[in-house]
A and B are shown apart, each in its own frame.
Chain A
């Protein structure tokens, strides 16, 4: 099925460092979503974006809805060990279906 291009695939960083990941699509989306998935759990919503150019923060997380509506990024500042997990972007067009990226696996070295 259709998927977004999400990069990087994995990151291994030092605690305290900032992290950036992004997603691109060939299609326009009306909504961009960012999720985090812990082992053995389902994805949990972190940030939702609804308007081109929108910049939204949730604590140490900041995400932006690209101007072209075909891309989005997520930044995590001052990473901590509990940030470990897999981060997914998802785009939603005019239907109820979510199109997911393949995920960014984040590992944090204490």
Chain B
């Protein structure tokens, strides 16, 4: 597609359940990033994928969070045993060239609500 696609756009889940969030980056973009946006806050870095290199997971808040990127394209962010503090908008971005912030294109995000 023309832009970064994220699904679902909204997800309501019960506390303790696992959720999977999906990101389809722009075709040909080798760099992919996940950010989290809590209510009234800026975006917080979670994880970065670049080609076949090992991902930078330094922003993941706990071991309940994990992410994969299969075939250098689609990425899934998994949150296990969700907690209410996990409620946020999860944004994915991709870029053709890593490291150039101005080239990042963001998706519309997945709004996660844990009840």
A residues lining the B interface (CB < 8 Å):
1, 3-4, 6, 31, 33, 40-45, 48, 88, 90, 92, 95-103
Contacts and interface: CB of A to CB of B under 8 A. Distances in A.
Interface in B1-55: 4, 9, 31, 33, 35, 40-45, 48, 50
19 contacts: A1-B45, A1-B59, A3-B42, A6-B42, A41-B109, A42-B107, A43-B91, A43-B106, A44-B106, A45-B104, A48-B102, A90-B42, A99-B45, A100-B42, A100-B43, A102-B40, A102-B41, A102-B42, A103-B40
A88 B31 CA distance: 22
B81 to A, nearest CB: 22
Interface of B: 4, 9, 31, 33, 35, 40-45, 48, 50, 59, 91, 93, 98-99, 101-102, 104, 106-109
Contacts of A97: 45, 48, 59
A42 B101 contact: no
A45 B102 contact: yes
Contacts of A44: 106
B43 A43 contact: yes
Contacts of A1: 44-45, 59
Given A1-B44, A43-B43, A102-B41, A96 B106 contact: no
Given A4-B42, A42-B106, A102-B40, A92 B59 contact: no
